[in-house]
Amino acid sequence: MFNPDYAGPIQGSFDLDYFPSRQAAGIRREIELLSADDRNQIVALYDGEIAFTDSAVGLLLDGLHDQRLEQSTLVVLLGDHGEEFFDHGGLDHGHTFFDELLSVPLIFSLPGTLPGKSRLGGQARLIDVAPTILDIVGMEPPGHFEGLSLRPSKTGPAHNNGLLSRTDAYAEALRRNGTVKCISSYPWKLIMDTRTSERSLFNLEDDPHEQQDARGSEPAMDHRLAQAIYRTVFGMSDSWYVEMAGGGEPHTFDVSVKMGSDPLPGAIGIHGLLDPEEAPVTHRPETTVEAAQRSLRVEGLQTEGKVTLAFTAGPPRAPVEFELAIDGESAAPRTFLGESLVRPETMPFSRIAGQKSVRSRGAPAGEIDAPYFLIWHSNSPFTGRNTVSLKDGTTKALKSLGYIQ
């Protein structure tokens, strides 16, 4: 329909199986070999998908009109992701956090109730869709919902569970690289690899195509959004915290974390070094931070104040082994666990989440003479709050697509 004169090799349909390589780097090299006509054909085929979908939606709306239901039916049109067509050298979706993948259509229609042909300013999130639907039909959202209604309110939106503000939109991709996260606080957007702490900051008003990294010129915004990412990631996850306190004098801290395999094999997830405000810490060059699938090591971290190593590890009952040192000496007498502040009997020592190590997130450490280690575990606030029961086959399918863990 949209490229009738094309006579090249891409005919009928197109997906990434067209490329011999299934690795991201290989696909990028093969994309570079596509001719301009081939690229235009790929876009034209996608435009055909859009036209087909538009036609199908039109039939649905015509049916509502024929049945005289359009005045009493709330229609919501939305997408789950965008698609890249060579904007940043790639193709498909699920591999980056640039706006060609994150921006999606979102339309609410209910004649007589919602004003037509109006557009809301500001930033909307897909987690806001369900609360907005319930608001329009006069129902209260469940307490575990993270989003907020998009309908204008005289009193303004109420805050949700505290992880995300109205100004922040959080995104993560489990399909390709689960360590890369994104926070948008329009017009600013930060993309961050939480394993390496590599970050990119963009101003979507001045640079809508996201070509210029603004981190160097906007350190305060970079700091705020990086803090928001860590606060969100660890706030929604089962997380371990290893607080190191110097007490006003410089001390050197070493941390070794290993995941055991009895009774369950475990793996290290996301990690970060945080200051007391949960913002990322830029450590000295002599500090070593290394992470692997089942281990995490911090050596030579010097601080006079407080620095916390936060990390996720799973599954929940997997044992975690800690070996800690202060100024090159075993930290056994200077290590405390949980709210009870009990000390481990040996060094190294192992803990399972909830075993003498639970502590309310942000609770005071009590009277401990520095230098010290304080270790605690915080449960996800969403554990056990899922109101939907899924069949085994459905769960398996959603996991394979990356929608649930």
Q: Which residues of 182-219 are buried (b: 16+ CB within 10 A; e: fewer)?
A: bbbbeebbbbbebbebebbbbbbeeeeebeeebeeebe
**pTM, full prediction:** 0.79
State the Rg of the chain over Cα. Answer: 25
Do 129 and 110 share a structural domain?
no
Do 329 and 373 share a structural domain?
yes
Do 173 and 162 share a structural domain?
no
CA pair distance 386, 402, nearest whole angstrom: 17
Of the candidates 234, 254, 281, which is a domain's last residue? Answer: 234
Do 267 and 255 share a structural domain?
yes
Do 368 and 280 share a structural domain?
yes
Q: Is residue 385 part of a domain?
A: no
- How would you list the strands of the sheet with 267-274, edge to edge? 267-274, 306-314, 239-245, 372-378, 335-337
CB 187 within 8 A of CB 205: yes
Do 218 and 128 share a structural domain?
no
Residue 195 lies in domain: 169-234
Question: Residues 352-366: pLDDT tens digits?
Answer: 876 655 554 444 455
Question: Residues 307-321: pLDDT tens digits?
Answer: 999 999 888 778 999
User: Highest-confidence range of 169-173, 344-348, 397-401, by mean pLDDT?
Assistant: 344-348
Question: Residues 155-165: pLDDT tens digits?
Answer: 444 444 455 66
Q: Is residue 388 part of a domain?
A: no
Q: How many domains does the chain have?
A: 4
Residue 274 has a pLDDT of 92
Q: Is residue 384 part of a domain?
A: no
Do 223 and 183 share a structural domain?
yes
Do 262 and 195 share a structural domain?
no
Do 277 and 222 share a structural domain?
no
CA pair distance 287, 268, nearest whole angstrom: 20
Q: How deeply is 255 buried, as exposed, middle or buried, from its count of CB atoms within 10 A (0-12, 13-18, 19+)? A: buried
Question: Residues 243-295: pLDDT tens digits?
Answer: 999 999 999 999 999 998 777 788 888 898 999 988 888 878 889 999 888 99
Residue 12 has a pLDDT of 82
Do 183 and 152 share a structural domain?
no
Do 56 and 24 share a structural domain?
yes
Beta bridge partners of 241: 310, 376
Q: Is residue 319 part of a domain?
A: yes
% of the chain residues with pLDDT over 70: 89
Please count the residues of the chain: 405
Mean pLDDT of the chain: 86
For every residue of 170-196, DSSP letters joined together read EEE-SSS-TTEEEEEETTEEEEEETTT
Q: Is residue 8 part of a domain?
A: no
Q: Is residue 398 part of a domain?
A: no
Do 314 and 216 share a structural domain?
no
SS3 16: helix
